[in-house]
Amino acid sequence: MDDRERRQMARYYLVSRADVLVRDSFDPIWGGVANVSRTGVTLYIRQPLKLNAKVTLTFHFCKEDGWEANETATATVIWQSGEAVGFKFERPILANSLAAKKTPYLADYIAEREADALDE
């Protein structure tokens, strides 16, 4: 049976960009997604951010038919090296957690990547 026949729900793909809104700012910063885990994300950003800055990250998902969905997660800047910036989620996106329920597409994306890694 192929993957399409086994799916119970439509598949959403993480678009390779995320918006970063630093607390007390009105202008989002565009970031390219390098990697994401249950505890945080690394983005490529072309401007320096302050360590420990609190941010809201907006992740963009696209369904196979082109429909887009957005999810937000709060995080803290924990490191920066050149254009690479590490963010730690305020709450880890663990299975069945409140954070996973607030970001179901992101939680599913992470779970699929983890399953893929186990299959390798």
Residue 109 has pLDDT above 70, yes or no: yes
C-alpha 104/C-alpha 9 separation (Å) is: 12
In a domain, 4, yes or no: no
pLDDT at 87 over 50: yes
The pLDDT of residue 5: 45
7-42 confidence digits (pLDDT tens): 454 555 577 889 999 999 999 999 999 999 999 999
Residue 77 lies in a domain: yes
Domain count for the chain: 1
Q: What is the CATH number of the domain that holds 34?
A: 2.40.10.220
Question: Is 14 contained in some domain?
Answer: yes
Range of the domain at 96: 9-119
Residue 112 reports pLDDT greater than 90: no
Contacts of 43 (CB under 8 A, 6+ apart): 18, 20, 31, 32, 33, 34, 57, 84, 85, 87
Residue 2 maps to a domain? no
- The answer to the question of residue 3 being in a domain is no
Residue type, 51: L
State pLDDT tens for residues 51-68. 999 999 999 988 777 888
Q: Is position 26 within any domain?
A: yes
With respect to residue 56, please indicate whether it lies within any of the assigned structural domains.
yes
Determine the pLDDT at residue 42: 94
Kindly state whether residue 65 falls inside one of the protein's structural domains. yes
pLDDT of residue 12: 53
Q: What percent of the chain has pLDDT over 90?
A: 68
User: Could you tell me the two tokens for 74?
Assistant: 């709060």
Task: Enter the pTM of the model.
Answer: 0.84
- Mean pLDDT, rounded, of the chain: 87
